Structure 1
Amino acid sequence: MTSNNRELITKKAFNDFKNYPYGFARSGDFSIRESDLLSKHGSLVAALVNGELEPMSAEEQSLVAVARGEKAAETPLEKAWSKYQSRINRPKVGSMYGRSRYTDEAFEVSGSDDDDIVVED
């Protein structure tokens, strides 16, 4: 049963429509080789990291260690996965103008009408 599940996961192409709606290759964040590696092997790496599958080889154990931050990335797949994780977990940039637009009420001046400016020639 586990080998059947592993085969299904390895055949499935990896996509992240939330962060990369047009795919990895069209994002500009990854090279062609990196986007191919993520598409082909990303489902397996994601399943290993999430604990859905147990690592069966030293390469898979190394992938899990890199994903957890216990080891530096060495292979091209490990580097691509690290780059992917750093891209999706980067902090969001806020606006320097605040969250909402100004309203007309914010510019109203309270007080009497004596504050009118009179220009004399």
Structure 2
Amino acid sequence: MENIGAGKYNYYDDHNFPHGFRRSGVFTIREAEYLESHGHTLRELESKLRIPENEDEKHFQQAVCEGLESQSFAVKAWSKYKQAITARSQRIFLSRHDGNNSFLSTDF
């Protein structure tokens, strides 16, 4: 496993995963635990709010920011997280309602 520092607090994304990473059905248990414990650090490295402290953090920041392929568990887990929140925001819901009938109609 990479030498990326864990955050002081667990990372939660209540907006996109209101029931947590583990119960979302998107992540494995290992990925969910890693995102919870390291999510703040990974987010800060991606947004360049944190200066990388070692080679693993530098590699993560470079791979994520430049979109490079990597076999790193941290890069794969974070990329899966970013892809999941992007996919959730791009959902399109279609309705079969044609607009002619009123839902409030009292005619039975």
TM-score normalised according to structure 2 size: 0.76
* Structure 1 residues not aligned, in runs of 5+: 1-6, 106-121
| Helix, strand or coil at the partner of 2:39 | helix
Q: C-alpha distance in 1, partners of 2:90/2:53?
A: 36
Q: For the structure 1 residues 23 and 101, does the alpha-carbon distance in structure 2 shift closer, same or farther, using more than 3 Å as the test? A: farther
Name which structure has the greater RCO, CA cutoff 8 Å, separation 6+: 2
Shift in Å, 1:11: 1.4
Structure 1 residues 46-83: Cα deviation after superposition (integer angstroms, max 9, x where no partner): 01112221112111111112222432121212111110
Which residue does the alignment assign to 2:54? 57
Contact 1:73 1:82 survives alignment (8 Å): no
The structure with more helix, counted as a fraction of residues: 1
Which residue does the alignment assign to 1:11? 8
From 25, 28, 34, give the equivalent of 1:28. Answer: 25
- For the pair shown, the structure with the greater C-alpha radius of gyration is 1
Q: C-alpha distance in 2, partners of 1:101/1:47?
A: 47
Which residue does the alignment assign to 1:81? 78
Contact 1:13 1:42 survives alignment (8 Å): yes
Q: For the structure 1 residues 58 and 97, does the alpha-carbon distance in structure 2 shift closer, same or farther, using more than 3 Å as the test? A: same
TM-score normalised according to structure 1 size: 0.69
Q: C-alpha distance in 2, partners of 1:68/1:89?
A: 16
Identity across aligned pairs (percent)?
Answer: 27
* Structure 2 residues not aligned, in runs of 5+: 103-108
